[in-house]
Structure 1
């Protein structure tokens, strides 16, 4: 089976809950000399990062993911999990004098967030090269170090490997000309609706112009589902109602894993979007980005129940 090279971060997420509202403890007229601490009785540590999350979800679907990223001296717990799952780590390189990327997220009772992110070894993502790995039929360039994202997109194009461009949280790193270059190199692009507006604003291109440079443009819209723009037409993909809503962290990555699976298996765009939508629904019912579980057969049964046909 061909493999998907997933370029992006592998990270540890420390998620804390402050059992009050931030605004009760921050004086607006004293922001200029802010010095405050929050007691956070609840703390959980999760495996995360876009490359790790997408790889985990593609594995659940029965695909062959190859996450590609730079990690640090503290990566062993992540390695242990992925080794146990049989997910290849051949494209994950260790910088022994740095830490694996870390996100420290504090939520209050209104779901406001204060986040600090330490990129660590991710700053060296350009030390990894697309051409070093065999049997790759598709790729994705997700949020990563700026130089690495530019290099990996160029290498996918040079090696004639179709890929998804997913700027995500890395959007602030790129101006309009950078984004135009990515779009012209990419085969597909996946963004949420806010990121889509940013891309339009920075490039000066509207959605029709962006779609002209791609085989398909995927725009997610949260609870409103997603839209696919291709060949001058649009396809509306409804959201799949979740069994329960627990935590949205990682839903976008689950969706992108569904896209990769459909595209690398030559499924039509409607079916591909529906697989992606169902993946997001199954993820949101579990806490953290990598704690949901199902077999390939269970997923297929979910799909048939939701859409009335088998995608195989």
Structure 2
């Protein structure tokens, strides 16, 4: 199955300040704040929704095509992704902007001062899908995840015009979309992927009931946190899938992206919706057990055993038939 994943590509620069920001702020001088904090450490983590999903697909043995916009500073990140099975040949490289970057300092009270630099991400609207489909001799599914909003709308429109099946995953960009943008993104989607809050926000902005939503998309996939996943569609009974067993939570960053990667992998292997969601839940669990969205590793025998422990021996056997060494 040829899957193109469009969306953000970014790095997170995380620092820790061994004190309290509040102790450095003077109430009657806030209008002239000028502070510099000496931090103890710096952690740079690879991120971005599309890159996270693509990494997860690569971990499961697929070769997804990453679509997004980056700067010339992407070289090391590109090497990392390519080593983990991601096709980066269709990534757009800006001539003027750096790769998107999240810079955050956290104090001992878990207060944060942060900035997000969109950078090259704003050029994602220049990416066209047809050359990608031509290079690959077709596309089976285009994943449209959080990105420059204009790029998201362009990609969904092109999918409708050219007949490419697509999944709509607006996530955090819902906050920047009005009702007409939401409708323009999701109309005709094969899959709509959100969490529970995002589903409610999307329906509120678009003015859609549950039934009206399913008149516009074929399958709705809604993650429910600790309660697992709900899948609904036209002319089918709702499916509920619980989270995987024995997960030791460490860091929630990128968990939703992990689920999406596992779900898409299951579909690529020819699994039904329930089994695909089970693969997604287990991969999301692996992300949750690690610090960072791309710091986990799928070990074949362990993954198969955990599938069987969580969802039964048949689930483990089916994954064994598709998961490479």
Same fold per superposition (TM over 0.5): yes
Instruction: Give me the TM-score of the superposition, normalised by structure 2.
Output: 0.88
- The match for 1:197 is 200
> C-alpha offsets along residues 84-128 of structure 1, whole Å, 9 cap, x if unaligned?
234211111211321011111233445554431111111111221
Deviation at 1:175, TM superposition (A): 0.3
| 1:72-151 superposed matches below 5 A | 72-109=71-108, 111-133=110-132, 134=136, 135-151=138-154
Corresponding residue SS for 2:46: strand
Root-mean-square deviation over aligned CA pairs: 2.2
Tell me, in whole angstroms, the C-alpha distance in 2 between the residues paired with 1:253 and 1:301: 22
Structure of larger gyration radius: 2
Q: C-alpha separation between the residues in 1 aligned to 2:219 and 2:23?
A: 46
Q: Deviations over 1:207-260 (max 9, x none)?
A: 332123222111112222221122353222212245422111111110111121
Within a 5 Å distance, the mapping from 1:218-229 to structure 2 comes to: 218-229=221-232
21 and 64 in structure 1: CA distance in 2 versus 1, 3 angstrom threshold: same
Q: How does 1:202-241 map to 2 (within 5 A)?
A: 202-231=205-234, 233-241=237-245
Contact 2:157–2:184 (CA under 8 A) maintained in structure 1 = no
Unaligned runs of 5+ in 1: none
* 1:79 match: secondary structure: helix
**CA deviation after TM superposition for structure 1 residue 82, in Å:** 2.0
Distance in 2 between residues matched to 1:298 and 1:68, nearest whole Å:
31
Q: Who is 2:248 aligned against?
A: 244
TM-score, L = length of structure 1: 0.91
1:9-28 aligned at under 5 Å gives the runs 9-20=8-19
In the alignment, what sits opposite 2:259? 255
CA distance in 2: counterparts of 1:242 and 1:161, whole angstroms: 38
Q: Does 1:306 align with 2:310?
A: yes
What is the CA–CA distance in structure 1 between the aligned matches of 2:277 and 2:26, rounded to whole Å? 45
Distance 1:88 1:201, change over 3 A: same
Question: What do the CA deviations read for 1:64-94 (whole angstroms, capped 9, x no partner)?
Answer: 2101011101111101212323421111121
SS at match of 1:139: strand
1:271 equivalent in structure 2? 275
Give 1:34 deviation, angstroms.
Answer: 5.0
Of residues 226-235 and 143-152 in structure 1, the stretch that sits farther from structure 2 once superposed is 226-235
Find the aligned partners of 2:266 and 2:27 in 1 and give their Cα distance.
48
Residue by residue, what CA displacement relative to the aligned partner does 1:43-80 show, whole Å, maximum 9, x if unpaired? 20011111111000011112221010111011111012
SS in structure 2 opposite 1:75?
A: helix
Q: Secondary structure at the match of 1:186?
A: coil
- Contact 2:64/2:85 (8 A) holds in 1: no
* 1:167-182 correspondence to structure 2 within 5 Å: 167-182=170-185
- Count of residue correspondences: 311
- Aligned residues of 1:138 and 1:264 also touching (Cα < 8 A): no
Q: How many Å apart are 1:163 and its aligned residue? A: 1.3
| Maintained 8 Å contact 2:152/2:185 | no
Structure 2's unaligned 5+ residue stretches are 320-325
